[in-house]
């Protein structure tokens, strides 16, 4: 790295602290600049070249890329869903490309529903007889002879719910951003979710038909969020569409196929059947109707399925159009009947050999669920330290909600200062507004704590937090918040224990006292001896005993301590080999 005039060579990625050093600015200043650009980063975090270039640009530097290598990815949180693990465990030779499963996320009113409808209706126009009437929470369309599966649930909620259960079902997130409105809070939230779930993301730039649409502004905003559009040399596909006028839909579908191709979306159609429950409802006459997304293997009518704590022999399988089918391979959404109870959206389902096996699994799960709810691992400031000690948490993940941007800035500044220590603070999401269900979902999925500053938690959010064991902390004064976190961080730091010698004594004589066994008659030569402290007994250069100083007497009286110059009787727990001339060192262990 070198600088030349106001030209500044930067690598493909750089830690904020180093970047600050390079331009000789305070890291806090830099973090604030990043924040105003919508990038949340702590001092120890890395930003990519593009982000760094924008920020140093604000200080008058022209950034030049030092190497061509791109930074691979940022903080990854969240568990790998079970079905993905299953597929990963399959023999490569049996894996076949399967249709990509898409979920559409974005800010409210940016056009998620309209886009899902537009995609669906293009397909109808393309020759589906009778149209599609059923809404089962997912559908498929065909493009270039290939299928694409869309999750058609109320986007965000379903996505987060699924992810919170470690069963996130989508392969690609299509982020809808309205060209007239740009990046909004839920846009950022959606990006955070996609990142945490490690799902590739592409952008549908919607409402380009509107007179006040400003696609370039949106692209700029996306670039600032590390989603550099491909036409600008980045790796995020941004496709202009109008859901209303059904423009750009074909391009979007082609784009999806391209992203799918570069992501190796596969499964074993002949492997063990596993998938995710998309939704379930109770029909008075038909019983439980569930929508399942098959993710590995092939589901067949007559199979015995366990889904969460429900099970049953599938009586009928229909596709998303309501047409009865016999088999459904990977990435196929189907509606099924025959389950004994209601599974939850996001539950994993699997096919088993017999009803008996199904019953056993269900009773095991019911038991496990009971124990889990009793011993649910909460992430709270109070028990975080223990989690770190147990190796279950490496740092503190935070989601910050504040009343206004004006409070968010100083909060972030303070937190970033705190995060400079040994244990990192990771701010996963910071936004204005009340604490919602979605914030709690993200917190549950990422083992984070939600901090509210001058805001409330919505009723739904509170309920969910209780259920999921998410710690929500509300503050009105910044320093109270930083104080609490600082304490937790201190607790999190393993206390460094040091020995401090408090006194020395010489053994003058050893004598027997029936109650204690042998007792050392000593004279304190230095400092003091303390009952309950630790002692080492030396004979010449050899240490012959180390342990607790269990009894201390002065003239037949029990005493707590005895000072230099005095004589005393000292007893050690189960140790009797004492001789005149031995040296005693008394020490304590304390936090540094
Ligand atoms: P959602 O909340 O993200 O599901 O958004 P909706 O699909 O409900 O759309 C919100 C509003 O934006 C509705 O009034 C739609 O008619 C309108 N809308 C959606 N897509 C477009 C578009 O491409 N162009 C225009 N002009 N309006 C759109």
300 C-beta closer than 6 A to ligand 1: no
What is 384-495's CATH topology? Rossmann fold (3.40.50)
117 C-beta closer than 6 A to ligand 1: no
Q: Tell me, in angstroms, the distance from the centre of ligand 1 to residue 249's CA.
A: 14
| Nearest residue (CA) to ligand 1, atom 9 | 111
Tell me the CATH number of domain 274-370, given options 3.30.70.2500, 1.20.272.10, 3.10.150.10, 2.40.30.10.
2.40.30.10
Q: Which of 151, 153, 171, 157 is nearest to 83 (CA)?
A: 171
186 C-beta closer than 6 A to ligand 1: no
Which region holds residue 29: left if phi is over 0, alpha if psi is between -120 and 50, else beta?
alpha
The strands making up 448-453's β-sheet, listed across from edge to edge, are: 425-432, 396-402, 448-453, 472-475
Name the superfamily (CATH) of residues 99-264.
Answer: P-loop containing nucleotide triphosphate hydrolases (3.40.50.300)
Domain boundaries, given as residue ranges, for the chain: 3-68, 99-264, 274-370, 384-495, 499-591
Mutate to test the pocket of ligand 1, among 103, 105, 109 (most ligand atoms within 8 A of CB): 109
pLDDT in tens, the chain (592 residues): 444 557 888 877 788 878 888 888 877 778 778 777 777 777 767 787 778 888 888 888 888 876 433 232 333 345 677 777 778 888 888 999 999 999 888 887 899 889 999 998 876 544 444 444 567 888 899 999 999 999 876 544 545 555 444 436 789 999 999 999 999 877 887 887 787 777 899 999 999 999 999 999 999 999 999 899 998 888 999 999 999 999 999 999 999 999 999 988 999 999 999 998 888 888 888 889 999 999 999 999 999 999 988 999 998 899 988 899 999 999 999 999 999 888 877 788 999 999 999 999 888 877 766 665 554 455 677 666 666 666 666 678 889 999 888 888 888 888 888 776 666 788 888 888 999 888 888 887 777 889 999 898 888 888 888 878 888 988 888 888 888 888 777 765 444 567 788 999 999 998 887 666 788 999 999 999 998 899 999 998 888 888 888 889 998 889 999 999 999 999 887 788 889 999 999 998 776 5
Strand partners, 573: none
313 C-beta closer than 6 A to ligand 1: no
Q: Do the domains 99-264 and 274-370 sit in the same CATH topology, yes or no?
A: no
187 C-beta closer than 6 A to ligand 1: no
Which region holds residue 120: left if phi is over 0, alpha if psi is between -120 and 50, else beta?
alpha
243 C-beta closer than 6 A to ligand 1: yes
Longest dimension (CA), the chain: 106
pTM, whole model, 2 decimals?
0.58
503 C-beta closer than 6 A to ligand 1: no
The two three-digit tokens of residue 490, written as one number: 């201190």
Strand partners, 139: 150
244 C-beta closer than 6 A to ligand 1: yes
553 C-beta closer than 6 A to ligand 1: no
| Nearest residue (CA) to ligand 1, atom 17 | 111
484 C-beta closer than 6 A to ligand 1: no
Write the burial class of residue 582 (CB in 10 Å: 0-12 exposed, 13-18 middle, 19+ buried): buried
Domain 499-591 has CATH 2.40.30.10: yes
| Nearest residue (CA) to ligand 1, atom 22 | 207
């Amino acid at each position: 790295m070198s600088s030349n005039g106001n030209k500044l060579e930067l690598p493909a990625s750089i830690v904020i602290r180093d970047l600050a050093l390079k331009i000789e600015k305070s890291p806090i200043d830099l973090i604030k600049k990043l924040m105003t650009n919508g990038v949340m980063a702590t001092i120890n975090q890395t930003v990519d070249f593009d982000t760094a270039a924008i920020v140093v640009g604000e200080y008058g530097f022209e950034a030049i890329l030092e190497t061509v290598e791109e930074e691979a990815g940022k903080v990854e949180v969240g568990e790998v869903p079970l079905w993905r693990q299953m597929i990963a465990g399959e023999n490569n030779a049996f894996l076949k490309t399967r249709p990509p499963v898409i979920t559409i996320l974005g800010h409210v009113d940016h056009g998620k529903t309209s886009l899902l409808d537009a995609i669906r209706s293009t397909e109808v126009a393309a020759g589906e007889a009778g149209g599609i009437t059923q809404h089962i929470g997912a559908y498929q369309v065909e493009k270039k002879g290939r299928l694409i599966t869309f999750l058609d649930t109320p986007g965000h909620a379903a996505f987060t719910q699924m992810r919170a259960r470690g069963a996130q079902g989508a392969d690609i997130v299509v982020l809808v951003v309205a060209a007239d409105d740009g990046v909004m809070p839920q846009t950022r939230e959606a990006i955070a979710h996609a990142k945490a779930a490690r799902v590739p993301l592409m952008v549908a730039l919607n409402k380009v038909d509107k007179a006040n649409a400003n696609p370039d502004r949106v692209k700029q905003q996306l670039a600032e969020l590390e989603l550099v559009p491909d036409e600008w040399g980045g790796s995020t596909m941004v496709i202009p569409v109008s859901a209303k006028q059904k423009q750009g839909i074909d391009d979007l579908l082609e784009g999806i196929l391209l992203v799918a191709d570069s992501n190796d979306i596969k499964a074993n159609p002949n492997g063990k059947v596993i998938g995710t429950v998309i939704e379930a409802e109770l029909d008075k006459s038909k019983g439980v109707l569930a929508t399942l997304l098959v993710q590995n293997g092939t589901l067949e009518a007559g199979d015995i399925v366990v889904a969460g704590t429900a099970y049953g022999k599938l009586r009928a399988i229909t596709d998303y159009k309501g047409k009865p089918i016999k088999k459904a391979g990977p990435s196929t959404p189907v509606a099924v009947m025959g389950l004994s109870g209601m599974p939850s959206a996001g539950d994993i389902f699997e096919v088993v050999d017999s009803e008996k096996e199904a019953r056993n699994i269900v009773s095991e799960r019911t038991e496990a669920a009971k124990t889990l709810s009793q011993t649910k691992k909460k992430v709270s400031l109070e028990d975080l330290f223990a989690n770190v000690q147990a190796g279950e948490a490496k740092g503190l993940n935070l989601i910050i909600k504040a009343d206004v941007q004006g409070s968010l800035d100083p909060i972030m500044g303070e937190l970033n200062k705190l995060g400079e220590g040994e244990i990192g603070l990771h701010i996963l999401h910071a936004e204005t507004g009340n604490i919602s269900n979605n914030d709690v979902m993200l917190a549950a999925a990422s083992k984070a704590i939600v901090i509210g500053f001058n805001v409330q938690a919505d009723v739904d959010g509170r309920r969910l937090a209780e259920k999921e064991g998410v710690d929500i902390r509300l503050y009105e004064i910044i320093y109270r918040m930083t104080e609490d976190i600082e304490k937790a961080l201190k607790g999190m730091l393993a206390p460094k224990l040091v020995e401090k010698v408090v006194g020395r004594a010489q053994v003058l004589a050893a004598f027997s006292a029936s109650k204690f066994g042998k007792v050392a008659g000593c004279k304190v030569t230095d400092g003091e001896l303390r009952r309950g402290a630790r002692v080492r007994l030396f004979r010449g250069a050899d240490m012959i005993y180390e342990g607790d100083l269990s009894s201390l007497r002065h003239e037949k009286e029990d005493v707590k301590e005895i000072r230099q110059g005095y004589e005393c009787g000292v007893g050690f727990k189960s140790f009797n080999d004492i001789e005149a001339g031995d040296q005693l060192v008394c020490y304590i262990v304390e936090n540094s």
